[in-house]
Amino acid sequence: MVGEVFRLKIECLGNPINTIGVCYQKYPDFDFFGEEGLSIIFPNGNYAGFSFEERVHMVEFIRIEESLKWYVFTNVIQLSEDFRNGIFNEGFRDVADKETPQV
């Protein structure tokens, strides 16, 4: 679902292993009927699509960022603008960061 947060299992688009990414779109997987591919954006602003098979090998589900479940992808121009405006910042926070009490 949109708003799901994943951790990379591989290096990808200038992002090291363990980088957090946020799903901004799901789409029908063209190779596995009935499955979905994910479009994920990363803290460096790069984004990629992951087929059902690629998800198994390349990303690990971490959590759902409730504040991003509403996000509706329209096009990459708007996606880039939303990224620059910090829309995805809460999603990029690591689980440990979200659980650390603020003093």
Q: State residue 94's pLDDT score.
A: 76
Segment 64-94, tens digit of pLDDT: 999 999 999 999 999 999 999 999 999 998 7
How many angstroms separate the CA atoms of 52 and 58, rounded? 10
Please state, rounded to an integer, the average pLDDT across all residues of the chain.
Answer: 91
Q: What is the pLDDT of residue 96?
A: 53
pLDDT bracket for residue 97 (50, 70, 90)? low
Residue 62, number of CB atoms within 10 A of its CB: 15
pLDDT tops 80 at residue 34: yes
Q: Is 90 exposed, middle or buried (0-12, 13-18, 19+ CB in 10 A)?
A: middle
Confidence label for 48 from pLDDT (cuts 50, 70 and 90)? very high
Domain count for the chain: 1
Domain extent at residue 38: 4-99
Give the Cα separation of 97 and 91 in Å (integer): 11
